[in-house]
Structure formats: structure tokens, C-alpha cells
Amino acid sequence: MARSEHLPIYKKSYDLCLYLEQVVRNFSRYHKYSIGEDLRNTARRMLGLVVRANGRREKEAALLEIREQVEELKVLLRLCHDSKAFSNFNSFEHAIGLVTESARQNGG
């Protein structure tokens, strides 16, 4: 299997996973075990798809799945923001920036 660590999309996706682990830790108990868990799982699925896409010859289907995960992450982040799960706006802004950058890398 091909190594993925050098890819910019891998780096952004990995940074997103790490960041969400830290941010969700500060969510209230109600949000941490509901939408926070969904957020973390979706980000990890996206990272796994990046690794899987890098190892395939036909990348188109995997890239489409990554795009779907990115859109799901955007919706979840917006839901977290609107339900006041984030402790401050900067946390939301940084997370959505990482997702947007991952989407840009996937589209390119």
C-alpha cells in the first residue's frame, strides 16, 4: 500500500482529526456523547478514505466518498455551532477552515 503521510490532504485531514479530539473534549456532556462523537467518527472516516484512495489505482470512487464525508462534516460543524456546542467561535472557525482546506485538496 502506498504511503499517505506526504499528501497535503492527508496532513489536513489528520490535523482535523487531532483538533476535533481536543475540541470535543471541551463540549458539554450532552454534546460530547452525541454530536461530538458523530463529528469525530466522520473525520476519522474521511482520513481513512484518504489513505484508501491513495492506495488505489482507480481513485475516483474514493474521492467521491471523501467529498461526501466533507459535506457531512460541514453540516455537523454547522449543527455544533448553532447548538452552541463550541465553547467559542474561534474553535468553530478553525475547524471549518481545516474542513474547507481538505475539500480544496480533494477537489484539486
**Predicted confidence (pLDDT) at residue 1 exceeds the cutoff of 60:** no
| Structural domains of the chain, count | 1
pLDDT of residue 29: 93
The residue range of the domain holding 30 is 8-107
Domain membership of residue 2 (yes or no) is: no
pTM: predicted TM-score of the whole model, two decimal places: 0.89
Q: Is residue 79 part of a domain?
A: yes
For 61-97, the pLDDT digits (tens) are 888 999 999 999 999 999 999 999 999 999 999 999 9
Residue 49 lies in a domain: yes
pLDDT 10s digits, 27-68: 999 999 999 999 999 999 999 999 988 887 888 888 899 999
- Which pLDDT does position 57 carry in this prediction? 83
Q: Do the Cβ atoms of 10 and 47 come closer than 8 Å?
A: yes
Task: With respect to residue 51, please indicate whether it lies within any of the assigned structural domains.
Answer: yes
CB 80 within 8 A of CB 28: no
Instruction: Read off the amino acid at residue 43.
Output: A
The answer to whether residue 25 sits within a structural domain is: yes
Q: Is residue 1 part of a domain?
A: no
Q: Which three cell numbers stand for residue 75?
A: 453540516
Sign for the CA dihedral angle at 31, 93, 96, 79 comes to: positive
What CATH number is associated with residue 21? 1.20.1440.60
16, 21, 25, 31: CA torsion to nearest 10: 70
Is residue 70 included in any domain, yes or no?
A: yes
